[in-house]
Each structure stands twice: as C-alpha cells, then as structure tokens.
C-alpha cells in the first residue's frame, strides 16, 4: 500500500492529538509513505514513520515532531524534494539512509542508529536550518556522510565514520552563511570516494608531515576558521612528538599540494585534543586534516639513516649533494633548509646536482654560495608516499 497525497486535493493533517504510525506492523503491505501533494504537521502534532518516506510533493512547512522508528530494518528518505521538519528524532537500529536531503529547523535527537548519506553525492545531506541544536550523538549515533549548516554562532558537525564520532567545529558562523562537511576515516593518499589522490608528500615549504589516517571535507564560499579534533586512533604520535607542532592543513585546489592553514589554538595532548586554524575559504581546498610543521622534521633528524657531507669547492671530489641510487626513483622533490628552518633550495626530480647554492629568490647573495654549516633536507618520493629526512654538512 502506498499513501499518495495529490495536488488536486490539498490535505492539511492536523496532528494536535492524532499520532500517525506508518509501519509494517500496522499495514503489512505498505513499503513507503509517498507524498505527491501538500502535507503539513501543525503545532504539537506528531508523525511517526516506521517505513520509508518518499517525498515528491511539498512537505516542508511543519511544526511538531517527526520521528523515524524501526528496530529491525533500515529506513530511507528519498524523492524529488527535501522534507523539512521542526523537531526530528531517529531510532532506527539499522540506520536511516538519505537519498535526498532531510531538513530540521529546531531540535534533532539521535536515539539509535546513524544517519547515512551517499558521500559521493554532495547534493544530499542532513540540513540544520537556522538552528543548531541536537543531542544523543555518540560513536554509534552520528552522521556518516554530509551535514549542512545554515545558522549563526558555533556549530559542531556531528559526523563520523567506522563507528567513531569525529566532529569538526565552526567556532563562529555568520547568519545566512552555508557550510557542509563530512568525515572520512581513510588515508588521503587513497581515498575511496574522491576521483583523485591527495599525496601527503606534496606539501608547502614549511610543512613536515601530514596525517594519513583521517581527513574531513569542508565546503563553503565564506571565510571561516575551523577546529579539528583528534583521539588515540588518529595516531598523532606518527606525525609529531609535541602538539605545539600541529597545524590544520588543506589540499589546495590550485597548487595541488598541502598548504598550512595555521594553528591559533591547541588543546589536549597526543592522545586527544583539538587545533584551530587561521581564517581560510573552504571552497579553495579539496579536503582538510591535521599536519605538523617543519620543526618536527628537524626533531626527527637524529633518527635519519641518510646523513651526508659534501664540499662544493671545485676539486672534483664530493662537489654536489649525491644520494646513491636516486636515478631509480626520479619522481621526487628535494628541499633544503638552514638551521633556522628557512627554505634555501628545492628541486623536483632531483638528480644529484645541488652544489651548495640557493635557488630561493629571497636568499641574499645567493650566487656566492651558502655558508659552511649544517643544513637539513627532506626528500619526498612521490610514487611511494615516503620521505627521507636528514642533515648535511656543507664544507668549502
């Protein structure tokens, strides 16, 4: 049985007292509540969906409560148009799946199960409209997919993946701005729902390491800051030994590399905490995650396997910085830093030709060659998502 609401007969359902339960246990042949017309829930009204909702009509001027309930099976929301409710609660043991967006104007309650949206389709999301209140979120109750927020003030995205709630936080949202976000418990080098890879070795000059266990997608045209969180499963210890080195980082769409988005505030320790970015425009970045700056690379140099000395003095002996076997790995980038962390040399497809001079346009008297001393290098192998770090002693 399919319940149809036709435009030729406008129906306003007053549910001040009446509660409609649309369920398989009550109407055994029913597989969906399907609306083709105009339906409205009035103040203090309640409607309970124990079956799928298909909305091809108008179902967006509602008060009261809409609930989705099923202890045994998943439920879905689909159709040509978005259904928008005032208060929403979800108790679906096997998840509520959205194939079209679902809007909430007041309060959303996670009781049981997740909200799942297709991560490959950005047009579908759970939408918080001019209100940002929800409750009941946990490692088993969250949005596995995209959440949209059109509010003001702070908004915490109740997103997660793989039985893990991993929120990101908009510290302040200006009224009438729109942001959309999701969390992916995946290696950005090999994402499952993007048609590209986000090589964690392709980084801007002052970054050291990028988290390879998780990332977020944040979409929006207006400038904002963002707070990213981590827990013990984020493996922050793999990229830093000190949270002071942490940064929010984003994959720059134009430059096609990871860019430092700043770190104006850090809380917590290596097991759990948060980091807040500088202001940036989310639309300029494909995805964001947590990284560490170059100070962490300097701290790691005592563990480097490949440390060298060379003397570019024209005597024909060790005149260039040479790494044996490098010809077998030509898809690389070499970066050289001085002891203060300033980039003095960089070269893609390095082929053992550095002679101790700088190619950074900001270096003073770079044609005279760099002074004697210790320099630090990062050599990224792009085909393997690996990097070597170490130090070089430059002599004359």
Tell me the three state secondary structure of residue 339.
coil
Distances (CA, A) of 61 to 12, 25, 42, 177: 11, 28, 9, 22
Output the pLDDT for position 390: 79
State the pLDDT confidence band at 305, using cuts at 50, 70 and 90. Answer: very low
For 121, what's the count of Cα atoms within 13 Å in the CB-facing half-sphere?
11
Choose between 166 and 385: higher pLDDT: 166
- Report the alpha-carbon distance of residue 277 to residue 80 in Å, rounded: 38
94 pLDDT exceeds 90?
yes
Q: Can you give the pLDDT at residue 40?
A: 92
DSSP letter (8 states) at residue 200: T
Percent above pLDDT 90 for the chain: 62
H-run or E-run covering 292 = strand 285-293
State the pLDDT at residue 301: 41
* pLDDT, position 295: 59
In whole angstroms, what separates CA 29 from the centre of its chain?
A: 42
Which stretch of 94-108, 125-139, 296-310, 349-363 has the lowest confidence by average pLDDT?
296-310
What's the CA gap between 103 and 168, in Å, rounded?
A: 20
Tokens of residue 346, six digits? 């960089």
CB 81 within 8 A of CB 55: yes
Q: Decide if 75 contacts 55 (C-beta within 8 A).
A: no
pLDDT of residue 366: 62
Q: Is the pLDDT of residue 285 over 80?
A: yes
306, pLDDT greater than 90: no
Q: What are the domain boundaries of the chain?
A: 2-295, 304-394
120 has pLDDT over 60: yes
CA-closest candidate to residue 369, choices 311, 288, 323: 311
Residue 191: which pLDDT band, with cuts at 50, 70 and 90? very high
Closest to 336 (Cα-Cα) out of 368, 364, 303, 370: 370
* pLDDT score for 209: 85
Query: What pLDDT, on a 0 to 100 scale, did the predictor assign at position 315?
Result: 85
Q: Is the pLDDT of residue 130 over 80?
A: yes
> If you compute the radius of gyration of the chain from its CA atoms, what whole number of angstroms results?
27
The secondary structure of 250-309 as a DSSP string is EEETTTTEEEE---SEEEE-SSSEEEE---B-GGGEEEEEEEEEHHHHHHHGGG-S--EE
Is residue 296 classed as helix, strand or coil in its secondary structure?
A: helix
- Residue that the structure tokens 């320790």 belong to: 269
**Distance between CA 60 and CA 58 in Å, rounded?**
6
Look up residue 42 and give its two tokens.
């009035």
Let me know: does 88 contact 115? Beta carbons within 8 Å.
no
The residue-averaged pLDDT of 58-87 equals 96
- Residue 203: closest CA among 241, 247, 267, 264: 247
Instruction: Write the CA distances from 184 to 145, 212, 216, integer angstroms.
Output: 8, 11, 6
Give a three-class secondary structure readout of 25-51: CCCCCCCEEEECCECCECCCCEEEEEC
pLDDT at site 103: 97
The encoded tokens of residue 45 equal: 């009204």
More confident residue, 11 or 343: 343
Q: To which residue do tokens 């055994």 refer?
A: 28
pTM: 0.75
Of the two residues 234 and 340, the one the predictor is more confident about is 234
* Average pLDDT of every residue of the chain: 86
Average pLDDT over residues 150-173: 95
Per-residue confidence (pLDDT) for residue 297, from 0 to 100:
52
Distance CA 347, CA 277 (A): 29
- The answer on pLDDT for 183 being more than 60 is yes
Q: Cβ neighbours of residue 341 under 8 Å, at least 6 residues apart?
A: 206, 294, 295, 298
Who's near 227: CB < 8 A, 6+ residues apart?
168, 169, 170, 171, 265, 274, 275, 276, 277
* Alpha helices per DSSP H over the chain: 294-300
**pLDDT of res. 294:** 66
Q: Please state, for a pLDDT cut of 70, what percent of the chain lies above it.
A: 87
Look-up: residue for tokens 């002599």? 395
Most confident of 176-180, 202-206, 333-337: 176-180
DSSP state of 297: H
User: What's the chain's length in residues?
Assistant: 396
pLDDT exceeds cutoff 80 at 64: yes
Q: Pairing relation of β-strands 373-381 and 332-337? A: antiparallel
For residue range 1-41, what is the model confidence (pLDDT) as tens digits?
Answer: 333 333 333 334 433 333 333 333 333 344 899 999 998 99
Above 70 in pLDDT, residue 165?
yes
The answer, yes or no, to whether residue 353 has pLDDT greater than 50, is yes
pLDDT per position as a tens digit, 223-235? 999 999 999 999 9
User: Given this model, what pLDDT does residue 365 score?
Assistant: 65
The fold adopted by the segment(s) 304-394 is Immunoglobulin-like (2.60.40)
């Amino acid at each position: 049985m399919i319940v149809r609401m036709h435009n030729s007969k406008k129906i306003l359902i007053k549910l001040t007292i009446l509660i409609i339960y649309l369920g398989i246990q009550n109407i055994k042949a029913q597989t969906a509540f399907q609306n083709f017309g105009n339906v409205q829930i009035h103040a203090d009204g309640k409607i309970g969906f124990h079956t799928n909702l298909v909305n091809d009509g108008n179902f967006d001027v509602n008060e009261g409560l809409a609930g989705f309930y099923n202890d045994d099976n998943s439920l879905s929301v689909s159709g040509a148009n978005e259904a928008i409710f005032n208060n929403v609660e979800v108790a679906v043991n096997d998840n509520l799946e959205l194939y079209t967006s679902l809007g909430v104007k007041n309060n959303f309650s996670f009781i049981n199960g997740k909200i799942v949206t297709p991560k490959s389709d950005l047009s579908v999301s759970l939408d918080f409209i001019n209100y940002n209140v929800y409750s009941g979120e946990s490692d088993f109750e969250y949005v596995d997919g995209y959440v949209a927020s059109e509010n003001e003030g702070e908004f915490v995205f109740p997103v997660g993946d793989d039985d893990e709630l991993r929120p990101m936080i908009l510290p302040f949202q200006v009224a009438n701005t729109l942001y959309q976000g999701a969390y992916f418990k995946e290696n950005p080098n090999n994402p499952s729902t993007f048609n590209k890879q986000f090589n964690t070795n392709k980084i801007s000059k002052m970054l050291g390491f990028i988290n390879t266990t998780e990332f977020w997608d944040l979409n929006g045209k207006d400038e904002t800051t963002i707070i990213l969180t981590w827990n013990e499963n984020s493996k922050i210890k793999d990229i830093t030994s000190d949270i002071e080195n942490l940064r929010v980082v984003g994959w720059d769409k134009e430059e096609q590399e990871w860019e430092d988005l700043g770190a104006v505030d850090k809380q917590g320790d290596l097991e759990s905490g948060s980091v807040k970015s500088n202001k940036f425009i989310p639309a300029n970045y494909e995805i964001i995650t947590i990284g560490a700056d170059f100070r962490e690379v300097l701290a790691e140099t005592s563990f480097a396997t490949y440390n060298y000395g060379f003397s570019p003095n024209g005597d024909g002996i060790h005149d260039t910085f040479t790494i044996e076997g490098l010809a077998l790995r030509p898809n690389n980038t070499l970066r050289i830093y001085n002891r203060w962390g300033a980039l003095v040399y960089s070269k893609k497809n390095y082929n053992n030709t550095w002679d101790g001079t700088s190619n950074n346009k900001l270096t003073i008297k770079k044609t005279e060659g760099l002074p004697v001393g210790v320099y630090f290098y990062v050599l990224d192998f792009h085909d393997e998502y690996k990097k070597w770090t170490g130090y070089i002693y430059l002599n004359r």
